[in-house]
């Protein structure tokens, strides 16, 4: 078993990233058996598919690395690195770009969403993004990839590319990576708008809880979070048409690792005036130790850089083993 997963350095990490992704990475890493491996990377090559200020990219990358470590990623158990320092990702992406078909990419819904109305003006990288994603996974010959609902189509594409490469070159270079749907990963919504997901790229900082927020800011954001005037219902049905209320209750349930019903049972009949302070304290309790470790790591950049140097070296060694097979299969003169 080899797990690979990545996250973009496009802003600071938030509660949605933590509950939806990072917490599961840590759980997967902790449950690896002898001989199983995990590769977690910061997807800086993916980030530049849309413009990133050059003066901020390295800092954003470091900050994400620190947040991942603070949240429990253990460099002794998982390889943590940034993608740009492992050139094999880009090399394999080129080769796989010659395996993938234009028709396959044209079916990818994320490009349509992200390029919006200005498709002709989008970068070529944004269009071929799923090919780089396939390379990210296949360059480690990953067997398992944790994916949210939004990334399932891209993993399916990675499997198609792997299968076609193996067939075209008559070589079983790539195993077909399996999706790992993380258990109980909630889709955390914006604190300002229950129709939108909590996101790094939301212009309003009040829409999200960042892993770097201190206790007072967390309390303020929860106090200001949009809700409604109705009391908390006793059953999930009672949350129908109340996405903001549901979001806060789901966050509470996810933090405790409990079903939503259990939380409703405890707060049924009460208003958000009572529930919000309880939620805020639970958030502070969960996030304060992470924020403290994060600040500590950012205050010691040499230690952070050492971890990332080592991770990149380990990742390059693993990726190079695959690339030898790939270059041989394609038939390059080397
Ligand atoms: P961006 O706005 O730049 O797309 P993002 O906040 O969506 O940023 P990503 O880097 O795209 O974050 O996603 C990193 C991981 O976090 C992915 O596994 C993604 O599914 C997960 N994730 C992102 N937002 C949420 C959310 N609101 N709830 C649960 N999981 C989330
Ligand atoms: Mg996203």
Model confidence over 143-185: pLDDT tens digits? 999 887 778 999 999 999 999 999 999 999 999 999 987 666 7
Residue 201's pLDDT is 83
Query: How far, in Å, is the centroid of ligand 2 from the Cα of 176?
Result: 24
Work out the average pLDDT over 281-288. 97
Work out the average pLDDT over 315-333. 98
Active site residue 224: no
CATH topology assigned to domain 205-296:
Tyrosyl-Transfer RNA Synthetase (1.10.240)
Residue 186's pLDDT is 81
| Ranges of each domain in the chain | 2-186+301-330, 205-296
Pairs from 229-236 (Cβ < 8 Å, separation ≥ 24): 229/271, 231/268, 231/269, 231/270, 231/271, 232/264, 232/267, 232/268, 232/269, 232/270, 232/271, 232/272, 232/275, 233/264, 233/268, 234/264, 234/265, 234/268, 234/269, 235/261, 235/264, 236/260, 236/261, 236/264
Residue 276's pLDDT band (boundaries 50, 70, 90)? very high
Ligand 1 atom 25 nearest Cα: 16
Active site residue 112: no
**pTM listed for this prediction:** 0.90
Ligand 1 atom 20 nearest Cα: 148
Query: How far, in Å, is the centroid of ligand 1 from the Cα of 291?
Result: 19
Q: What would the CATH number be for the domain defined by 2-186+301-330?
A: 3.40.50.620
CB 256 within 8 A of CB 263: yes
Nearest Cα to Cα of residue 46 among 112, 129, 115? 129
Residue 151's pLDDT is 86
Active site residue 221: no
Beta sheet of 144-146, edge-to-edge order = 79-82, 37-42, 2-7, 144-146, 178-180
DSSP state of 195: T
Residue 278 reports pLDDT greater than 90: yes
Ligand 1 atom 8 nearest Cα: 200
Query: How far, in Å, is the centroid of ligand 1 from the Cα of 154?
Result: 15
């Amino acid at each position: 078993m080899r797990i690979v997963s990545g996250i973009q350095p496009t802003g600071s990490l938030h509660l949605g990233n933590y509950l939806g992704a990072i917490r599961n990475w840590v759980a997967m890493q902790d449950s690896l058996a002898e001989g199983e491996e995990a590769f977690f990377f910061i997807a800086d090559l993916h980030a530049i598919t849309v413009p990133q200020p050059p003066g901020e990219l390295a800092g954003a990358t470091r900050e994400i690395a620190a947040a991942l470590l603070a949240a429990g990623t253990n460099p002794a158990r998982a390889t943590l690195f940034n993608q740009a320092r492992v050139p094999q990702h880009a090399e394999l992406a080129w080769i796989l770009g010659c395996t993938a078909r234009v028709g396959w990419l044209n079916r990818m819904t994320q490009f349509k969403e992200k390029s919006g109305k200005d498709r002709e003006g989008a970068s070529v990288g944004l269009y071929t993004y799923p090919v780089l994603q396939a390379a990210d996974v296949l360059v480690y010959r990953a067997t398992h990839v944790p994916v949210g609902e939004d990334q399932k189509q891209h993993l399916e594409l990675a499997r198609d590319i792997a299968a076609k490469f193996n067939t075209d070159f008559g070589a079983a270079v790539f195993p077909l990576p399996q999706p790992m749907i993380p258990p109980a990963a909630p889709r955390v919504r914006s604190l300002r708008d229950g129709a939108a997901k909590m996101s790094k790229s939301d212009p309003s900082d009040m829409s999200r809880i960042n892993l770097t927020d201190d206790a007072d800011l967390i309390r303020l954001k929860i106090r200001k979070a949009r809700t409604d005037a109705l009391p908390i219902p006793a059953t999930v049905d009672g949350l129908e048409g109340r996405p903001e209320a549901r979001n806060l209750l789901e966050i509470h349930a996810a933090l405790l690792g409990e079903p939503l019903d259990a939380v409703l049972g405890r707060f049924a009949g009460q208003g958000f005036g009572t529930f919000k302070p309880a939620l805020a304290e639970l958030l502070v309790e969960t996030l304060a130790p992470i924020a403290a470790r994060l600040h500590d790591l950012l205050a010691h950049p040499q230690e952070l850089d050492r971890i990332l140097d080592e991770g990149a070296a380990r990742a390059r060694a693993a990726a190079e083993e695959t690339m030898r097979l790939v270059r041989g299969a394609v038939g390059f003169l080397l």
